[in-house]
Amino acid sequence: MVKTAADFTVPPSDYRIVVPDGWFQLALEPEESDASALALAEQQFHGIDNAPHLKRELTRELQRQAREAYAAGGTELYLSTLVVGPVPLSSSLLISVPPPGEWPDISGPAALSRHLELLPGRQEVGVVELSAAGRVVRTRQHREPDPARQLGNTLPTTSLSYYAPIPMTEKWLVLDFSTPIDPLANQMVELFDTVAGTLHWL
């Protein structure tokens, strides 16, 4: 039986979240991340032998993402390898616990929502209820492309973030979803909402 956030009288020992088939978990631990990035690049270029330069670029980009995610307190990073017809459904999910000193002194979801509303670029900010994880803050943001950091991507990026207070602690678990598929942004956000809805504490 899945516990709800209100059931905890001591901090949970872990969390679980269900991601779609076809989302690759990129290892973030320094001793594993390089090999994991290479494995994903090999998977993406399987059967393609005439693009070694592109495969090396992808490997380096994945390694960079893993290092930055780990430095930001990342615990898990998932990258979508799903394809519908000729269209790759590019998206990512970074799960993190912000380290001490890098998070405002916020007492709960309502206060955090008010704090985030003051930051630039947030299209939507609100408090929502997840069935097991409890009350969380949900934000949606639209960013202009940064080709230098996104393998030449020239499309706007839609980001969806969930900030979940970890029961019986002052820490937060953050789910950061992102997709550069602007024409399908709303459909991808629906998928992200569904994934976030599976979050539960152990």
Reported for 49-57, long-range contacts at CB under 8 A and 24+ positions apart, including other chains, are: 57/151
- For 129-181, write each residue's pLDDT tens digit: 999 999 999 999 988 766 555 444 567 899 999 999 999 998 999 999 999 98
Domains of the chain: 14-201 (3.40.1000.10)
- For 38-84, write each residue's pLDDT tens digit: 898 888 877 677 777 888 888 898 899 899 999 888 999 999 988 77
- Supply the pTM of this predicted model: 0.89
Alpha carbon separation from 173 to 11, 17, 183 (Å, rounded)? 13, 12, 29
Phi then psi for residue 196, to 5 deg, are -60, -35
- Can you tell me which residue has the tokens 């970074």? 94
